[in-house]
Amino acid sequence: MTSIQDPASSTAVFHASAPVRLDFAGGWSDVAPFAIEERGVVVNAAIGLRAEVELRTGGEGFLLHSDDLKDSLRLSGPESLAADGRLDLLKAALRRSGLGAAELRTRCAAPAGSGLGSSGALDVALVAALDAVRGIRRSRVDLAEEAFALESVEAALPGGRQDQYAAALGGFHRLVFERGAVSVEPSRLPEGVYDAAAHLWAVSPERPGAAERLEGMGRRRLSVAFRAARTADEIYVRRPGQRSIRANVVE
């Protein structure tokens, strides 16, 4: 990890976060070409684990930090935001926004590779933070679509739309993907389904480190996170001098 000195504390600081999700059915049917040529259907729910973004404006050039990857970069100007294999999603977000000098830091409570849609949640948090800086308002669906465009188009990282929609919409949803369009159907589940969360564990046999980190949260922590699927439907943004508030989302 490269050691980089923080910029002056007088710069404006924006915070945003968005929830990751559990995928109950239909995973990967939201990915092209299947979602374009056929008809994909996904059922998922946002949970209490969140991806977080901290954005400081001002200074000189760009400072990028990924706490999860333990990597940092200092870049001189917009021409240095080209993809090169290091923190390319963060570079893409700044490049797409057209924002000037800034420091960008990201972290996620769900490890990369955990299968919880952490990159999609990070997409949404990045868009929400950059929108807050520029005073842009979007509907939840537009927020999800812009987050998807950030990852799939600007960053050229192929994937589906379910993660971004789960992070932007929150709650339980049935999502239908057909011919490039997305239909959103909120789901209301019996109360007993939430109570069953007390018996759930989330582990990743293929990634021992991820499994250890998730198991370390404990059964109670996962139960609370699962219950938060009913209320983890806000994209939180904190502007300078304020407590956390909802992002500029148009209902």
Instruction: Indicate if the pLDDT at residue 40 is higher than 90.
Output: yes
Taking the C-alpha atoms of residue 110 and residue 112, their distance in angstroms, rounded to an integer, is 7
The DSSP string of 204-219 is -TT-HHHHHHHHTTHH
CB half-sphere exposure, 226, CA atoms < 13 A = 23
Q: Does pTM surpass 0.75?
A: yes
**What are the pLDDT digits (tens) for 201-236?**
555 555 544 444 444 444 434 444 444 443 334 555
Predicted confidence band of residue 49 (pLDDT cuts 50, 70, 90): confident
Question: Are 91 and 55 spatial neighbours (Cβ–Cβ below 8 Å)?
Answer: no
Predicted local distance difference test score (pLDDT) of residue 166: 93
pLDDT at 22 over 60: yes
For the residues 11-39, what does the mean pLDDT come to? 89
pLDDT digits (tens, 9 = 90+) for 134-174: 999 999 999 999 999 999 999 999 999 999 999 999 888 99
> How far, in Å, are 2, 47, 194 from residue 209 at the CA level?
23, 21, 28
Instruction: Convert 156-172 to b/e letters by CB count within 10 Å (16 or more is b).
Output: eeebbbbbbbbbbbbbb
| Calpha distance 218→53 (Å, rounded) | 25
Give residue 69's pLDDT. 93
Q: Average pLDDT for residues 32-45, to the nearest whole number?
A: 91
Q: Residue 189's pLDDT is what? A: 67
The SS3 of residue 189 is coil
Tell whether the model's pLDDT for residue 198 goes beyond 70. no
Domains along the sequence of the chain with CATH: 13-234 (3.30.230.10)
